[in-house]
Amino acid sequence: MASQVLTKLRRSGRPEPDAMTLVEHIEELRNRVVVAAVATLAAGVAAFFLYQPILSFLQHPYCQVAGPRHCAFYVTTPLQGLSIRMKIATYGGVFMASPVILWELWRFITPGLLPKERHYVVPFALASIALFLFGVVLAYVIFPHALAWLGSIGGPSLRQIYSPTAYLRLILALMVLFGLAFEFPLLLLGLQLVGLVDPKTLARGRRWAFVLIVAGAAIFTPSGDPFSMLALAVPLYVFYEVSVALGRLLTR
């Protein structure tokens, strides 16, 4: 098996990781970083020109709550419009370039992995992307309910006039939080596979896990509304049970 791996590496024109010097490792890392940076820059330029469609997409939950005629943003400084456009270009560039970034990362770490490790890494990588996107989409879907609750909690005497900076900060923070939080089952499953956590121990501690998940969702949800908290806590507990079941199956 080892000879097959060495043969494949030689055919690909890349040196064996153990035979590479520290300088060669650094040079390869630099090349990967340069490619990822160029891709991010190009995607950021594209996002700069796609500013209006991206802003309209992020503004849509607000328009669902306030209505199409009453969901305009208000800026209070001359430079705020430019600042918003640059932020959307930056975040949009990173998001659109993420496939290239992940590919370059994968190409950098692949030579150092054993065939058995590669067998686990590919499903883990695909599952992490799918779970992150699922979390982002779920946050976007429930955001109108969060906005409606936040708008009503202050009472009818308050008129909602949103700044684009505060609005975008909230919706993007919520989407990133959901995306990262939905990586939780993969982390838990990985800890079981390497033997740091026992599935039986996790099964016995499910009550404490439920309490900690609910408490964590209540503390770390940026909007602080019950809809977002439940939308985060319920899937995470389901993921907890699924990861325990998969851990029992795979550790056998």
pTM: 0.81
Q: What pLDDT, on the 0 to 100 scale, is given for residue 3?
A: 45
Q: What pLDDT, on the 0 to 100 scale, is given for residue 67?
A: 85
Q: What pLDDT, on the 0 to 100 scale, is given for residue 159?
A: 80
Q: What is the mean pLDDT of each run of 10 residues along the chain (252 residues)?
A: 44 53 80 93 95 93 87 88 92 90 82 72 84 93 91 81 89 92 89 83 89 91 87 92 87 72
Q: What pLDDT, on the 0 to 100 scale, is given for residue 12?
A: 47
Q: What pLDDT, on the 0 to 100 scale, is given for residue 17?
A: 53
Q: Which two tokens stand for residue 87?
A: 């932020």
Cβ burial of 219 (10 Å; 0-12, 13-18, 19+) is exposed
Q: Where are the domains of the chain?
A: 17-112, 120-160+174-252
Q: What pLDDT, on the 0 to 100 scale, is given for residue 173?
A: 92
Asked if 124 contacts 213 with a C-beta cutoff of 8 angstroms, the reply is: no
- Rounded to whole angstroms, what are the CA distances from 221 to 19, 121, 153, 205, 241? 47, 30, 17, 24, 22
Asked if 100 contacts 35 with a C-beta cutoff of 8 angstroms, the reply is: yes
The separation between CA 133 and the C-alpha centre of its own chain, rounded to angstroms, equals: 7
Instruction: Look at the alpha carbons of 33, 99, 176, 195 in this order and tell me if their dihedral is positive or negative.
Output: negative
Cβ atoms within 10 A of the Cβ of 3, count? 7
- What does the alpha-carbon distance between residue 154 and residue 145 come to, in Å, rounded to a whole number? 15
